[in-house]
Amino acid sequence: MAALAAFDRLVLLGDLLELRHGPMRDALADAAPVLRELASAVGEVVVVPGNHDHALLRGWLERRGDAPLGLESMVEWDRREALGALVESLAPASVRVAYPGVWLRDDVYAIHGHYCDRHNTVPIIERLGAGLTVRLAGEPAGGPARAEDYEAVLAPMYAWIDAVAQFGGLRGGGGDGSFQVTAWEALNGASGRRTLRSRALAFGLTAAVAGLNRAGMGPLRADVSGVALRRGALAAFTEVVGRLDVPPGAHVLFGHTHRAGPLPGDDRSEWGATGGARLINTGSWVDEPRFVGSDPTGSPYRAGFAAIVSDDGPPALVNLLDPV
């Protein structure tokens, strides 16, 4: 919290609340003490909802009707709804809510990044759900071209997950992590080493992915390695940036994939988007030891990353939990 004293504004870049693992009232109650502490340390807070807290937007999305989302829409909340309760938890800070993203400077745009799930080639749950919705309901010729098109594909899946959460939620096989982390660990073996079991699972995944591609749910690839996860997400988000017509040369901040970057040693060519936009991922907002692996001090999946946006110059990616 001490680090916030040097800044005028705090941007909470999505998945501020975990609304998939249980009833919304419990998530709000659990988060309230932390939110109050954050709000007491900074004058202005901007909330940009993501996929795990997409339910916060339900009432606003219904009220706004046919008004276009664009790249930034300011959300007007009703105090009787969950979003109103969240805002009250952030008192006394001045609070704005923006969706799907927010302009922090003329050349710095921030968005959670979940729209990339429409284009990812890695068969994660969100990508499969998006593919199923497209198969059942269709989408514009050529694919999504605006925020509303992404919402039409992804929001039905979020609504289903939110409904399940009210009766217990989606949980990982071990109870201490998400299903996708559990699946990744099983496929890659302990600490990323391929075991006989993981090889057998990978063979089954290859067959399943081939079937999904034949069914028109792709394009998908059966590679779920760390490299494939990074490259798949970056390529998918690059697609989003181009389709949403983010101006050339902008810095685009996002999260969603848990993998911070670009970090020293990363291939910077992977972190450029259509039109010369430069991508920065603020990394994981939760502590997930199974992703961090055996190098908790150097893993790009460790918690604590943030982007500092000054009045000019490129945003700086830092880790607030690393030793000074």
Tens of pLDDT, residues 13-55: 999 998 888 888 899 999 999 999 988 889 999 999 999 999 9
pLDDT interval class at 71 (50, 70, 90): very high
Mean pLDDT (the chain) is: 86
Q: Is residue 117 part of a domain?
A: yes
Supply the pLDDT for residue 190: 53
Supply the pLDDT for residue 173: 42
Rounded mean pLDDT of 91-104?
95
What is the helix (H) or strand (E) element at residue 64, kind and residue range? helix 58-64
Supply the pLDDT for residue 189: 57
The Cα angle at residue 204 between residues 198 and 206, in degrees rounded to 5: 100
Q: Is residue 78 part of a domain?
A: yes
Q: Is residue 299 part of a domain?
A: yes
Determine the Cα–Cα distance for residues 259 and 281; give it in Å rounded to an integer. Answer: 7
Q: Is residue 31 part of a domain?
A: yes
pLDDT interval class at 182 (50, 70, 90): low
Q: Is the pLDDT of residue 186 over 60?
A: no
Q: Is residue 183 part of a domain?
A: no
Give Cβ neighbours of residue 313 (< 8 Å, ≥ 6 apart): none
Eight-class DSSP state of 143: S
pTM of the model: 0.88
Rounded mean pLDDT of 222-226?
76
Q: Is the pLDDT of residue 171 over 80?
A: no
Eight-class DSSP state of 114: G
Distances (CA, A) of 6 to 3, 108, 250, 319: 6, 20, 25, 15
Q: Is residue 37 part of a domain?
A: yes
| Higher-confidence position of 202 and 1 | 1
Tens of pLDDT, residues 151-161: 999 999 999 88
Supply the pLDDT for residue 284: 92
Which DSSP string do the residues of 179-221 spell out, in sequence order?
Answer: HHHHHHHHHH-GGGPPPHHHHHHHHHHHHHHHHHHHTT-----
pLDDT interval class at 291 (50, 70, 90): confident
Determine the Cα–Cα distance for residues 318 and 295; give it in Å rounded to an integer. Answer: 18
Q: Is residue 178 part of a domain?
A: no
Q: What HEC string does 8-56 produce?
A: CEEEECCCCCCCCCCCHHHHHHHHHHHHHHHHHHCCEEEECCCCCCHHH
Give Cβ neighbours of residue 107 (< 8 Å, ≥ 6 apart): 247, 249, 250, 251
Supply the pLDDT for residue 90: 93
Q: For strands 108-111 and 94-105, give the pairing.
A: antiparallel
Q: Is the pLDDT of residue 2 over 80?
A: no
Closest CA to 246 of 109, 112, 120, 125: 109
Determine the Cα–Cα distance for residues 43 and 92; give it in Å rounded to an integer. Answer: 8
Which DSSP string do the residues of 256-323 spell out, in sequence order?
Answer: SSS--BS-TTS-GGGGB-GGG-EEEE--BSS--HHHHTT-TTT-TT-B-EEEE--SSS--EEEETTS-
**Residue 134, number of CB atoms within 10 A of its CB:** 17
| Higher-confidence position of 223 and 285 | 285
Domain of residue 66: give its range.
2-166+222-319
When divided into structural domains, the chain yields a total of: 1
- Per the CB < 8 A criterion, the answer to whether 215 and 135 are in contact is yes
- What share of the chain in percent tops pLDDT 70? 88
Q: Is residue 215 part of a domain?
A: no
